[in-house]
Structure 1
């Protein structure tokens, strides 16, 4: 079975995403965010756009959204998804990393199995302030209006929070659900 590619956007948790998947026996490989899109299309069954410092360091990651593969954007990956599809990302009011209580607004394949509210670990230095057309709001918090969004028809999912860190309540479930989406 083809692996899930973890796109390294130079964030501090990208290797933790890879390790989390491998610890769950999910076949995964890390790639540079400059890997040509045709190589990505031929080599994997799904893509996780990892976090990173700024959109300017995201390489050609937005090109991967056009491949027809399931994509999960985490933090900066969410921002790449939003801006490349016509949404807006702005500076957040709350800044750095910390615990956030997130309300699940709409359950779907990615958030299946979660209760109505979960505690997550997230950075809000930047956040989606306007979702792209065609996306559905999945979760929000008191400090961020778009904690999670999805274009379900195109299998594009984005999270502001980091499911790969131990501080996030049952973060493994996101990866289990995404693995299932990539197998369908």
Structure 2
């Protein structure tokens, strides 16, 4: 059975990420972001959203564990920041119901959602520059960089929250991530 660990970056939806994975029959555990990397035993990692880059604990270290990582909201920003991209304040600000254009139909995480999908996203902070080696895989009218992926290193990020009911195809994102982990 596939085992995916959800890293709690103190976001309000972390428990919903764990539940969404469990609902798909995935063995799931939520761990605090201060968990030492050597204690993470998983086929994949979800870096949850959260309020601040100042409270990411060991999240950056989990990117080097040689397992696929899906960053959600702040989790995507951590990936971008640690891999040479740039994160900054969003012009839109808070939560919004937006349509994301999928830019790569071959992307293993988002390609099945093409040509577009409706999502619920926070834009207080966002990725401003895609890191080297990453593909820009999603954009919207309020955020140019809604999704990124590095298929060579199995690092993926979405600005939106696939775990909430307002995101139309959120379950498909988690199903696709499970396939990547398997």
TM-score category by the smaller chain?
over 0.9
**Cα distance in structure 1, aligned partners of 2:117 and 2:180:** 21
Contact 1:5 1:48 in 2 (8 A): yes
Q: Which residue of the partner structure matches residue 86 of structure 1?
A: 84
Q: Which residue of the partner structure matches residue 8 of structure 2?
A: 8
Structure 1 segments of 4 or more deviating over 6 A? none
Contact 2:2 2:26 in 1 (8 A): no
**Cα distance in structure 1, aligned partners of 2:77 and 2:56:** 10
Which runs of structure 2 are paired with 1:39-54 in the superposition (5 Å)? 39-40=39-40, 43-54=41-52
Which runs of structure 2 are paired with 1:160-179 in the superposition (5 Å)? 160-179=159-178
Q: Which residue of the partner structure matches residue 129 of structure 1?
A: 128
Q: Please, what is the CA RMSD of the aligned residues?
A: 0.9
Q: Where does structure 2 lack aligned partners over 5 or more consecutive residues?
A: none
- The C-alpha deviation readout for 1:81-125, integer Å capped at 9, x for no partner, is 000111110000001111011100013111132130111000000
**Cα distance in structure 1, aligned partners of 2:169 and 2:104:** 18
- TM-score relative to the length of structure 2: 0.97
**Cα distance in structure 1, aligned partners of 2:117 and 2:4:** 26
**Cα distance in structure 2, aligned partners of 1:18 and 1:120:** 19
Q: Which residue of the partner structure matches residue 70 of structure 1?
A: 68
1:145 Cα deviation after fit = 1.1
- TM-score relative to the length of structure 1: 0.96
Q: Where does structure 1 lack aligned partners over 5 or more consecutive residues?
A: none
Q: Which residue of the partner structure matches residue 179 of structure 2?
A: 180
**Cα distance in structure 2, aligned partners of 1:147 and 1:111:** 11
Alignment: residue pair count: 181
Contact 1:73 1:159 in 2 (8 A): yes
- The C-alpha deviation readout for 1:60-89, integer Å capped at 9, x for no partner, is 101000111100000000010000111110
- The C-alpha deviation readout for 1:5-42, integer Å capped at 9, x for no partner, is 000000000000001111121111101101111111xx
